């Protein structure tokens, strides 16, 4: 039984981690803490009545030594800029760490200043951390101590386009990613634009080519493509709780046959449990994946023009965060990758 600490339990990602870990047969949550100062420990059943009678733990302010003493592995579900302050301590104490923030996703420390607005506190760990897009970094994850769990947008977008970058079929700048996210993607922050009466019956684009998930995607695409890659990325907020749909516009140069396109995805995901690719012309919807760890991918390919339009859906809190984190934990501990997830 893996003893698991959840640090940052008061956000949506932390809550989803608890939900999933409760049904994991080989993991036990032994410690729950919050990033914010808590006046006094709070029963989880009070914090989350839905877990009442199921998890008799208290959520406390973060005390690194206490969490480390109780845990083999620690999930960090903290705000960006906070995880990098505590991860080194957990690693030093011999704990495995899966960080769900962006703090260890980029290899180039300088990018943090530009995209996150802070100087990285532990740049030496950026080389060591393994990017937790399970389907692409499984060997490295098996021996990882520090996993940088991917962002939700990158998960939905990378799973759809990496097979093409790996083949060298995409020209530079040749990807436009128009992504639509449910509102939990913005976190549990008491901010006006996240209020029900502001977000409901509304729709907006934001951070055009300026979202911090953009360098995360281009770093990974460049790595897989073997050359520097740029892309266009526009995220949108849609009025639903969970789920993300990314529409990707790509033109293959030279054009390929439909059979070749289908084969690329079959090669990439034919044996994967959590990525399901539909036949040409059949598109997935968010409801196909909500509260699951699946990424469903559909596309429409036009042989004549070479235009390939991809639609990729995930649950931003599951495959886009907590679910993939548990999938990574399963890999790190040599367990069946689907434990606790289906």
Q: Does 242 bind its own copies (CB under 8 A)?
A: yes
DSSP letter string over 267-293? HHHTT-SSEEEPPTT----GGGTTTSS
CA distance 210 to 213: 8
Q: Does 307 bind its own copies (CB under 8 A)?
A: yes
Length of the chain: 342
**CB neighbours of residue 135 within 10 Å:** 21
Q: Does 135 bind its own copies (CB under 8 A)?
A: no
User: Could you tell me the two tokens for 278?
Assistant: 């539909």
Strand-pairing partners, residue 302, are: 307
Return the residue of 26, 63, 142, 209 that touches its own copies, per CB under 8 A. 209
Least CB distance from residue 120 to its own copies, whole Å?
27
Return the residue of 74, 78, 286, 329 that touches its own copies, per CB under 8 A. 286
Return the residue of 38, 121, 273, 306 that touches its own copies, per CB under 8 A. 273
**CB neighbours of residue 257 within 10 Å:** 10
Return the residue of 30, 89, 188, 262 that touches its own copies, per CB under 8 A. 188
Cβ-contact 97, 68 below 8 angstroms: no
Phi, psi of 198 (to 5 degrees): -95, -40
**Contact region with its own copies (CB under 8 A), list: 56-64, 75-83, 304-312, 325-333:** 304-312
**Contact region with its own copies (CB under 8 A), list: 72-80, 96-104, 180-188, 220-228:** 180-188
Please state whether beta strands 275-277 and 295-302 pair in parallel, antiparallel, or not at all (unpaired): parallel
CA distance 101 to 78: 6
- Residue 84 vs 290, nearer CB to its own copies: 290
Give, as ranges, the residues between 26 and 85 that touch its own copies (CB under 8 A): 49-50, 52-54
**Contact region with its own copies (CB under 8 A), list: 81-89, 92-100, 109-117, 195-203:** 195-203
Handedness of CA 173, 174, 176, 177 (dihedral sign): negative
Q: Does 300 bind its own copies (CB under 8 A)?
A: yes
Strand-pairing partners, residue 175, are: 250
- The footprint of its own copies (CB under 8 A) covers 12, 22-23, 49-50, 52-54, 176, 178, 180, 182-184, 188-192, 194-206, 208-209, 232, 234, 236, 238-243, 245, 247, 249, 273, 276, 283-292, 294, 296, 300, 302, 307, 309, 311, 313, 342
């Amino acid at each position: 039984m893996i003893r698991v600490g959840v640090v940052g339990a008061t956000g949506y990602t932390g809550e989803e981690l608890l939900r999933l870990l409760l049904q994991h047969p080989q993991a036990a949550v032994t410690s729950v803490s919050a990033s914010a100062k808590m006046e006094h420990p709070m029963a989880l059943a009070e914090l989350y009545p839905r877990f009442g009678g199921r998890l008799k733990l208290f959520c406390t302010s973060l005390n690194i030594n206490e969490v480390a003493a109780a845990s083999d592995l620690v999930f960090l579900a903290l705000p960006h800029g906070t995880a990098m302050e505590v991860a080194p301590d957990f690693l030093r104490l011999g704990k495995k760490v899966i960080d769900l923030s962006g703090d260890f996703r980029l290899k180039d420390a300088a990018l943090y200043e530009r995209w996150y607005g802070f100087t990285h506190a532990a740049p030496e760990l950026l080389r060591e951390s393994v990017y937790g897009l399970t389907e692409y970094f499984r060997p490295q994850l098996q021996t990882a101590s520090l996993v940088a769990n991917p962002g939700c947008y990158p998960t939905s977008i990378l799973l759809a386009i990496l097979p093409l970058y790996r083949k060298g079929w995409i020209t530079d700048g040749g990807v436009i990613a128009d992504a639509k996210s449910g509102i939990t993607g913005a976190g549990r922050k008491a901010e006006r634009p996240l209020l029900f009466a502001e977000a409901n019956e509304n729709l907006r684009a934001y951070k055009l080519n300026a979202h911090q998930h953009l360098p995360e995607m281009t770093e990974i695409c460049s790595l897989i493509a073997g050359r520097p890659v740029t892309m266009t990325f526009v995220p949108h907020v849609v009025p639903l709780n969970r789920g993300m749909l990314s529409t990707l516009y790509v033109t293959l140069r030279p054009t390929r046959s439909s059979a070749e396109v289908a084969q690329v995805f079959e090669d990439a995901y034919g044996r994967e449990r959590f990525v399901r690719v539909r036949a040409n012309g059949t598109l997935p919807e968010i409801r196909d994946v909500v509260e699951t760890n699946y990424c469903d991918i559909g596309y429409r390919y036009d042989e004549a023009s070479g235009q390939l339009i991809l639609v990729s859906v995930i649950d931003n809190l599951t495959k886009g965060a907590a679910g993939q984190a548990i999938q990574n934990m399963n890999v790190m501990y040599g367990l069946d990758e689907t434990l606790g997830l289906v």
